[in-house]
Structure 1
Amino acid sequence: MTFKAFALGLAVASVATLSMAKPMTYTIDPTHTATVFTWDHFGFSTPSGNFTDIQGKITVDNDKPEKSSVQVTIPLSSINTNVKVLDDHLLKADFFDAEKYPTITFKSTKVETRDKKNYKITGDLTIKGITKPVVLDAVLNKQAEHPMAKVPAIGFNATTSFDRSAFGVGAYVPNVGDKITVNITTEATVPAQK
């Protein structure tokens, strides 16, 4: 067998191996994930807040991206606007009513991509017991072995926006803006085998 034939065979085998790759489920790393939300405040400023505890799974099927999925749970207790009085108020009944509805959830229903780099992820967002569809515009940053953890890792950035009043969180609209813009960055890894 010539070197050329060997190389060709190796390339075909590599492609075959890649095409049979199984979907991979990654666990979101809260320490490298941020969900920053912003709103208009009386037209004077655009404050922001973040949730510091993002939990969930990202399942990626590279061969059939439409079979990929995202599931996220956000404990409202992790809210942080850098203003303690505001954090406490946002958890009360006129906003999130966290005692009755302690989490926000997102569950994808459709994943679309044309280039396996830019994704449109449609899903059900549930806030305060109300579920509405939202669309995340997501960009794949990197999918590779994590250089420190030595496990498969993936990272995305994503954006979305929605009217908070649609989820029963409409206090002080329109003086305090109804539209919430969300910027997300996340890293997720496949847990190491024990």
Structure 2
Amino acid sequence: MKKITIIASLLALSATTFAQTWSVDKAHARLGYSIKHMTLSDSEGNFKAYDAKITATKPDFSDAKFDISIDVASLNTENDMRDKHLKSADFFDVEKYPTITFKSTSFKKVNGNQYKLVGDLTFHGVTKQVMLNAVYNGTQENPQSKKLVAGFTITGAFKRKDFGFATEAPATMLGEDVNLRASGEFVKE
């Protein structure tokens, strides 16, 4: 019985030993969204303050876990007046909902370097499962830092009303779909 316990402990330890953590390189990353305005144009914004980590044991990231946390107050649309309005209770309500989080539940290879990323998005006080498209752009050594770097592009959309966001705004004024786009490099720790 003692041998089984020791072997089980060693197996559990070895499984966690091979897990690798990758942290976002914010100098080479962007996390943003777009939404239709008056059905005429895309209103775009991004977030300046966020943290993103990936944990994986496989070199192709097929078992990757994504963990993202966004400081909503860091919203930037390159228009101060619009940013102030978007941060108000009419839209993001930063005082009540200061953080957006995403925690993946699966990362499955679809074809080649394309994956389906599924996870729990907590936005505007509501948590729902969303499915996103991910492209693994590869891994290589950064010639300056000599650290291993992996690149990803993630896209997808969700219905704003599913999260209780700007529910009073008609679709003719503010589109129903919030489109997400994240692109960045992650450095192996």
1:125-164 → structure 2 map (5 Å cutoff): 125-164=121-160
The TM-score with structure 2 as length reference comes to: 0.83
Matched, 1:123 2:119: yes
Residue deviations 1:77-101, cap 9 Å, x none? 1111111111111111121111121
Whichever residue aligns with residue 182 of structure 1, its letter is L
CA positional deviation for 1:161:
0.3
Question: Which ranges of structure 1 fall in alignment gaps of 5 or more residues?
Answer: 1-20
User: 1-side partners of 2:72 and 2:130: how far apart?
Assistant: 19
Runs of 4+ in 1 over 6 A off after TM superposition: none
Matched, 1:69 2:65: yes
Equivalent position of 2:169 in the other structure: 172
The TM-score with structure 1 as length reference comes to: 0.81
User: 2-side partners of 1:146 and 1:115: how far apart?
Assistant: 26
The counterpart of 1:34, out of the listed 6, 30, 33, is 30
Asked if the contact 2:46–2:77 (Cα under 8 Å) also holds between the matched residues in 1, the reply is: yes
CA positional deviation for 1:57:
0.7
User: 2-side partners of 1:114 and 1:23: how far apart?
Assistant: 22
Asked if the contact 2:66–2:103 (Cα under 8 Å) also holds between the matched residues in 1, the reply is: yes
SS at structure 2 position matched to 1:31: strand
Whichever residue aligns with residue 154 of structure 1, its letter is A
Tell which structure's C-alpha radius of gyration is larger: 1
CA separation of 1:148/1:55 partners in 2, compared to 1, >3 Å: closer, same or farther? same
Aligned length: 171
Asked if the contact 1:29–1:55 (Cα under 8 Å) also holds between the matched residues in 2, the reply is: no
User: 2-side partners of 1:132 and 1:44: how far apart?
Assistant: 29
SS at structure 1 position matched to 2:120: strand
CA positional deviation for 1:178:
1.6
Equivalent position of 2:180 in the other structure: 182
Larger strand share, 1 or 2:
2
Question: Which ranges of structure 2 fall in alignment gaps of 5 or more residues?
Answer: 1-16
Whichever residue aligns with residue 183 of structure 1, its letter is R
The counterpart of 1:78, out of the listed 74, 80, 85, is 74
Residue deviations 1:138-185, cap 9 Å, x none? 111121222222112111011010111111112413121121111110
Whichever residue aligns with residue 186 of structure 1, its letter is G
User: 1-side partners of 2:99 and 2:128: how far apart?
Assistant: 15
Asked if the contact 1:65–1:116 (Cα under 8 Å) also holds between the matched residues in 2, the reply is: no
Whichever residue aligns with residue 137 of structure 1, its letter is N
User: 1-side partners of 2:105 and 2:54: how far apart?
Assistant: 13
SS at structure 2 position matched to 1:57: strand
Equivalent position of 2:18 in the other structure: 22
Whichever residue aligns with residue 89 of structure 2, its letter is A
User: 1-side partners of 2:139 and 2:29: how far apart?
Assistant: 16
Residue deviations 1:19-74, cap 9 Å, x none? xx923210112221112211111122112111122312111232684532000001
CA separation of 1:64/1:143 partners in 2, compared to 1, >3 Å: closer, same or farther? closer
